[in-house]
Homo-oligomer: A and B are copies of this chain.
């Protein structure tokens, strides 16, 4: 522990975080803000997509891309560009999120290079691309599937790097097994399952488009 700084709750205990300031908000405070944001966003995108006369699947996808895009840009973007979030003494929500999440993975507070890299690519590339996906689905662009496929694959690759580097470095970054399963595993679970489903769907749609194309062309070519 540094002089004058609070002891931090993270593992490994000998990680040095000068001028660490403990969380102001409770876990339930943090979660309820995020849940409210999600609910408001869902309502807004649901109403908006209704007026566009989209299918139910497209309407869910519009919500997902808006949700994941804003999460990438705001939440993960803050982490990437605020290396000293753990010193924040104002109770600022985004700093509180990462102080709390670091209990599940202290590499966030410790600024592990692999974590910062994955979060950087996610915030800077995949975030804006996700909002572009909202636009692409809403307006029925021809690049809609390939864009969704590209972002989903990026999310899956990032998640793979996130977990594999942790395993190679000993997989011991959680304060206890509650945080390990709820934060480190639980909070990332949606970003394994949903991008997988979307990737498979896009793969099928794109392959089908080429089957249609080759059937249309066949009589002319051979």
What is the interface residue range for chain A against chain B?
35 or more
Q: Is the CB of B216 within 8 A of A216?
A: yes
- Which residues of A143-169 are within 8 A (CB) of B? 143-146, 149-150, 153-154, 157-158, 160-161, 164-165, 168-169
Task: Give the dominant DSSP class at A's interface.
Answer: helix
Q: Given A121-B164, A153-B150, A160-B121, A203–B143 Cβ distance below 8 Å?
A: yes
Q: Is the CB of A168 within 8 A of B210?
A: no
Q: How close is A70's CB to chain B, nearest CB, in angstroms?
A: 22
Residue of B nearest to A120 (CB): B164
Contact among B113, B116, B157, B203 with A157 in the assembled complex (CB-CB below 8 Å): B157
A114 to B143, CA, bound (A): 32
**Copies of this chain, how many?**
2
Residue among A116, A150, A214 facing the most chain B CB atoms (10 A cut-off)? A150
Interface string of A126-155 (1 = CB under 8 A from B): 000000000000001011111001100110
Q: Given A121-B160, A161-B118, A146–B113 Cβ distance below 8 Å?
A: no
- Which residues of A196-222 are within 8 A (CB) of B? 202-203, 206-214, 216
A153 to B157, CA, bound (A): 10
A66 to B157, CA, bound (A): 23
A172 within 8 A of B: no
- Which residues of A72-92 are within 8 A (CB) of B? none
Residue of B nearest to A202 (CB): B146
Q: Is the CB of B206 within 8 A of A146?
A: yes
A117 within 8 A of B: yes
Q: How close is A54's CB to chain B, nearest CB, in angstroms?
A: 14
Residue among A164, A211, A214 facing the most chain B CB atoms (10 A cut-off)? A164
A158 to B156, CA, bound (A): 12
Given contact pairs A118-B161, A142-B210, enumerate 8 new A-B contacts (beta carbons under 8 Å): A114-B117, A114-B161, A114-B165, A117-B160, A121-B160, A150-B153, A153-B154, A212-B213
Q: A residues within 8 Å of B by Cβ?
A: 113-114, 116-118, 120-121, 140, 142-146, 149-150, 153-154, 157-158, 160-161, 164-165, 168-169, 202-203, 206-214, 216
